[in-house]
């Protein structure tokens, strides 16, 4: 980045800050900062490049649409949701003017805007955007394309958040078939969909199927991403949650401390110093206690980890879960303050 900074200073001095070459260099610097997880810096570079793109290319140019879309995506990653929605709406309008409303770039922006609406808990709006993105991708790319599968998985997540679990399972199954065919059974996107499917099945009480999906997800992630990757840990935590429901998991042996069975199957390993749950069938009282505790946890934590939004790994559902936890804690504190202030003796 230091090399780019020196070039940037020279170009600004020679060409002026509004020159197109300076703007394109800022775009490159933004992409580098974004790849390094420096999202605030990336957003600054993108924003500084925009006036030049707008002036020299016009608001109907594909590059202008791509830049505005990038601004909206980074704002989403920073959870600046109102700004992100405005940027992505603008990007969609530019892309529709440049490519036509049925273009795949428009579909991508619709999906990104749907992510913002999910984070804003505007689930009906998000579903409408995801369905429109899916329709365009099916027309542009075909029903068997990997991106079509990704849109089905997004729509399934939206259904989960609206407590439409059976519909979500059907959509995850469709997405999984497409992704396995298009990407191969050992792809990380397949693992992500498997993990989300497993969590959804667990919530519906279909625990053997949930375990199988979570095990497959964790095994793929452990092989491709490594044992200590956040996504692998999430899948292992999902398995641990099944054990807490009183379901006897089928993992038989551990390979040292890695948590991966020699065959590639991942057992229900609790991470960060927690113990490995017993595989013995629970007694009736243990099972009942586990189920009661699980129901209490479910009321506190309605959403499960899914796919990361960006570096560092932060998932859509993680962000929603964090928001809900913070909202709930704030309400509890407000109630306590009210009673302290108004109740005497």
The sign of the CA dihedral 32, 33, 37, 42 is negative
pLDDT per residue over 58-86, tens digit each? 778 899 999 999 999 999 999 999 999 99
What's the mean per-residue pLDDT of the chain?
76
Residue 128 dihedral angles phi and psi, to the nearest 5°: -60, -40
Stretch 91-107: mean pLDDT: 94
Specify the higher pLDDT residue, 251 or 172. 172
Burial 143-173 (b: 16+ CB within 10 A, else e): eebbbbbbbbbbbbbbbbbeebbeebbebbe
pLDDT of residue 240: 83
pLDDT of residue 27: 82
Q: How far apart are CA 128 and CA 160, in angstroms?
A: 15
Name all domains of the chain by residue range, CATH numbers in brackets: 141-244 (1.25.40.10)
pLDDT per residue over 241-296, tens digit each? 877 765 665 553 222 233 333 223 222 222 222 322 333 333 333 344 444 455 55
For the CA atoms of 231, 233, 235, 239, the dihedral, rounded to the nearest 10 degrees, stands at -170
């Amino acid at each position: 980045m230091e090399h780019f900074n020196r070039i940037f200073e020279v170009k600004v001095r020679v060409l002026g800050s509004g020159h197109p070459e300076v703007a394109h260099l800022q775009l490159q610097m933004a992409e580098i900062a974004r790849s390094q997880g420096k999202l605030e810096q990336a957003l600054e570079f993108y924003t500084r490049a925009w006036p030049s793109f707008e002036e020299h290319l016009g608001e109907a140019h594909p590059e202008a649409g791509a830049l505005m879309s990038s601004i909206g995506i980074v704002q989403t990653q920073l959870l600046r949701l109102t700004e992100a929605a405005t940027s992505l709406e603008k990007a969609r309008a530019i892309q529709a003017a440049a490519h036509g409303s049925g273009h795949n770039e428009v579909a991508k922006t619709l999906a990104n805007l749907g992510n913002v609406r999910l984070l804003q808990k505007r689930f009906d709006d998000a579903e409408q955007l995801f369905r429109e993105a899916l329709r365009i991708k099916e027309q542009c790319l075909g029903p068997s394309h990997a991106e079509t599968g990704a849109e089905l998985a997004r729509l399934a997540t939206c259904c989960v958040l609206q407590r439409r679990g059976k519909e979500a399972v059907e959509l995850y199954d469709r997405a999984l078939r497409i992704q396995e065919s298009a990407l191969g059974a050992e792809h990380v996107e397949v693992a992500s969909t498997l993990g989300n499917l497993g969590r959804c099945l667990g919530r519906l009480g279909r625990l053997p199927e949930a375990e199988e999906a979570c095990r497959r997800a964790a095994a793929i992630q452990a092989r491709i991403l490594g044992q200590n990757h956040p996504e692998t840990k999430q899948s292992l935590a999902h398995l641990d949650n099944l054990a807490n429901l009183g379901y006897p998991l089928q993992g038989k042996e551990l390979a040292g401390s890695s948590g991966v069975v020699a065959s590639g199957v991942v057992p229900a390993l609790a991470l960060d110093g927690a113990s490995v749950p017993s595989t013995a069938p629970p007694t009736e009282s243990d099972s009942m206690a586990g189920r009661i505790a699980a129901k209490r946890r479910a009321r506190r934590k309605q959403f499960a980890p899914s796919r990361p939004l960006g570096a560092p790994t932060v998932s859509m559902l993680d962000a929603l879960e964090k928001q809900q936890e913070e909202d709930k804690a704030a309400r509890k504190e407000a109630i306590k303050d009210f009673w302290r202030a108004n109740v005497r003796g």
